[in-house]
Structure 1
Amino acid sequence: MNRSILLCAIVATINIVFAGLLPAQESPTGKGDESSFIQLTLVPPLSTNGFHSYRYSNHISINLLAGLSQNEYGFALGGLANLVRGQSNGFMLAGLVNHVRNGGRGAMLSGGMNMAYRPYSGWLFAGLANVAQDVDGFQFAGLLNKAKDVNGVQLAGLINVAENSDCPIGLINIIKNGEMGVAITYDEMGSALLSFRSGGKYTYGIVGMGYNHKTHGRSYAAQVGYGVHIPCSSWLRVNNELKVSCFGYSNDPLIIHDDHLKNTVIHVGYSLLPAFRLHSHVELFGGPSINYVDAGWKNKETLPSHSLWESSGSGRFRQIHLGFQVGGQYAF
């Protein structure tokens, strides 16, 4: 309690000092708001700009917990949050949230979320999510990116959502003017998979489930991956896909026996797939692949007899080999 009182007293003293050293002046916007070179804040209204910090445009803001301002024209640091009623032109760093009502340009970095409700030009990095109107630049989020129109790249650990985005990189991409479809594929490892593919003009994500008829153990298979389209004509494009598949769990469901993963097959492959569009909704594709496989001894027989490289040890067998993939897709 004494520390809290002392901290409040220090902030109040700083407020009085800076109020005298940094007199308010007319904002260059001519809208009647104030400007200051630097703002120091614990939480509003415990700020060097006082109860009316929401009227101020700052060049530097140091917010121990959270700060509130009209505009930011340089650097803003928030222990928890930076809250800007107008624009942010510069760099914003927050432990939890950057919130900009009227967009801007520069870069925003947050451990939680970045939110910009008007067009933003620059870089948005968030531990969880980016939510923006129009973005000209780059969005990176650990979980979710959401925007209207994106001129640049969206990179998310799970989901990208937009009306227009040519280069979304995520496992699931809900792009209004993009492409979503369901594909059936088969490869040299004996995996038949049903996958959901979603993305934009150039990039897409892959999430699939299916069956492997060669494995010893549980035959269901799971797959995730990313792809890149290379458009060639209205009826031909080349798909480049990097995927990871997993199958061959032990038949013994009891984890206490500690063998539920020892026979698992991990299959990583890159495929070069010419794709032929037969109809506006139907596409057939197929082509060669190069693959790395890490399998338990019981599933060694499921691997191709030919290989470019192989190794064994610790009850596992590893191999690099050439293979294939064929399939078809129905686009929604």
Structure 2
Amino acid sequence: MKNRLVMSPNSSIITILFAIFSFNAFAQRDSVSLVHVGFIYPVSSNGQRAASYTNRFSLHAIAGVSANETGAAIAGAANLIKKDASGGQIAGAVNLIGGSARGMQVAGALNMVGKSASGMQMAGFANIVKGKAKGAQAAGFMNLSGGAQGLQIAGFTNIVKDSVQGAQISGFLNKAGTTNAQVSGFMNIARKVRGIQLAGFVNIADSSDYPIAIFNFIKTGEKSIALTLDESMTSIASFRSGGRVLYGIAGVGYNLKSNPKPLYAVEAGLGAHIGLAKQLRINLEAVSHSLSDFEGGHYFKNSVRILPGYKLGSRFEIFAGPTVNYVTHEREDEFSFVDKYLWKNSKSTDFQGVFIGFNAGLQIIL
């Protein structure tokens, strides 16, 4: 037939090449690249248009630039991603993501995300997420985010603008809105704490039933000033502060006995309120107590106190009860506060003993 179309081998090759060229042109228009390798922008396989590409895998000796990453991105210094990233990003210094991140980011210094992040972030210095961080964050210095769901661990501070559905652990400071738990070496700050708030020095919150620190400033909690006396005739003026259940104790005082040298006292500890009735409760306390003449004589006592307390109105409480005490001091120091011991060690270099004592006091609830 005259109208019959016959394709030569050469025309077949041209057709195939045209199809390949058309596919590549389509891919370039869509700015999609399976592999992006390079040295530093714009010296890479995506060249000057690298910032418009979405890559499945990126590998750069120093720094890579892209629009999105959907797999793995590895750079000796920095991954700079304009929009979103998923999978894993590893950089010797910085992962900078303008949009959202899903997966894992590991950086020698900084992970910074412009929107939300889900997965795991690890940085030598800081993880910074403008939106909510879901998953785990670990940083040598700081974790900073708008919200958090998961665990935050930082060498210095965790700061979250809104709520934390998880726990914060830091060497110095935790700050959040509503949170489940906070643990820090120095200070915790929150609006509402559902669980434990543990700090080396101070807790601050609007609501926290279980703060553990020497000083606790809880808006819905209780603060008081107490004057106490124990079996050694040591009088202590102490500040008690905490939540509905747990509280901290810090005090100073003086031993009232006629000693060869004046003995001054300091004490610190933790307590718990156990409610029995409207005006009656038990204050259970664990306290470390020290007496010193500041010239070498020291008397150390660790006590567990069971102190029933009765409230006189809303501002005053009287309490008294037994204590179990462990004491230690140098043998050449004569501290004749107690005659009868449940147990004492007569062989050690320092004197050690356990005895039953008492503690009584009056406190003014502020």
What is the Cα deviation at residue 298 of structure 1? Answer: 4.8
For the 8 Å contact 1:11–1:42, the answer to whether it is kept is no
Paired with 2:196 and 2:117, the residues of 1 have a C-alpha distance of 25
- After TM superposition, the score normalised by the length of structure 1 is 0.84
Q: 1:167 aligns with which of 210, 221, 244?
A: 210
For the 8 Å contact 1:66–1:79, the answer to whether it is kept is yes
Structure 2 partner of 1:29: none
For the 8 Å contact 2:182–2:196, the answer to whether it is kept is yes
SS in 2 for 1:265: strand
For the 8 Å contact 1:11–1:41, the answer to whether it is kept is no
What is the Cα deviation at residue 42 of structure 1? Answer: 4.2
Percent identity over paired residues? 30
Paired with 2:191 and 2:255, the residues of 1 have a C-alpha distance of 40
SS in 1 for 2:131: coil
Paired with 2:361 and 2:340, the residues of 1 have a C-alpha distance of 23
Paired with 1:56 and 1:80, the residues of 2 have a C-alpha distance of 20
For the 8 Å contact 1:84–1:99, the answer to whether it is kept is yes
What is the Cα deviation at residue 152 of structure 1? Answer: 1.0
Q: List per-residue Cα deviations over 1:35-66 (Å, max 9, x = no partner).
A: 4222234445xx4x6xxx13132311111101
Q: 1:39 aligns with which of 74, 83, 89?
A: 89
- Amino acid across the alignment from 1:203: L
Is 1:95 aligned with 2:140? Answer: yes
Q: 1:286 aligns with which of 282, 299, 320?
A: 320
Structure 2 partner of 1:234: 278
SS in 2 for 1:86: strand
Q: List per-residue Cα deviations over 1:126-168 (Å, max 9, x = no partner).
A: 0111011111x21000000000111111000000000111110
Structure 1: tracts of 5 or more residues without a match: 1-7, 27-31, 252-259
Structure 1 segments, 4+ long, off by >2 Å, are 8-20, 22-26, 32-35, 39-44, 213-218, 248-251, 296-303, 312-316
- C-alpha change, 1:125 and 1:211, in structure 2 (3 Å) is same
What is the Cα deviation at residue 9 of structure 1? Answer: 5.1
Structure 2 partner of 1:21: 56
For the 8 Å contact 2:220–2:244, the answer to whether it is kept is no
For the 8 Å contact 2:188–2:197, the answer to whether it is kept is yes
- After TM superposition, the score normalised by the length of structure 2 is 0.77
Q: Which has the larger radius of gyration?
A: 2
Report how many residues are paired: 302
Q: 1:178 aligns with which of 211, 221, 231?
A: 221
Q: List per-residue Cα deviations over 1:54-96 (Å, max 9, x = no partner).
A: 3132311111101101222111001010001111111111000
Task: Please list, as runs of the form range in 1=range in 2, the aligned pairs for 1:207-226 lying within 5 A after superposition.
Answer: 207-214=250-257, 215-226=259-270
Structure 2: tracts of 5 or more residues without a match: 1-37, 58-66, 71-81
- Amino acid across the alignment from 2:364: Y
- Give the strand-richer structure, 1 or 2: 2
Paired with 2:106 and 2:44, the residues of 1 have a C-alpha distance of 13
Paired with 1:148 and 1:54, the residues of 2 have a C-alpha distance of 30
- Amino acid across the alignment from 1:235: Q
For the 8 Å contact 1:129–1:145, the answer to whether it is kept is yes
Q: Which has the higher relative contact order, 1 or 2, with Cα contacts under 8 A spaced 6 or more apart?
A: 1
For the 8 Å contact 1:207–1:224, the answer to whether it is kept is yes
- C-alpha change, 1:12 and 1:129, in structure 2 (3 Å) is farther
For the 8 Å contact 1:294–1:317, the answer to whether it is kept is yes
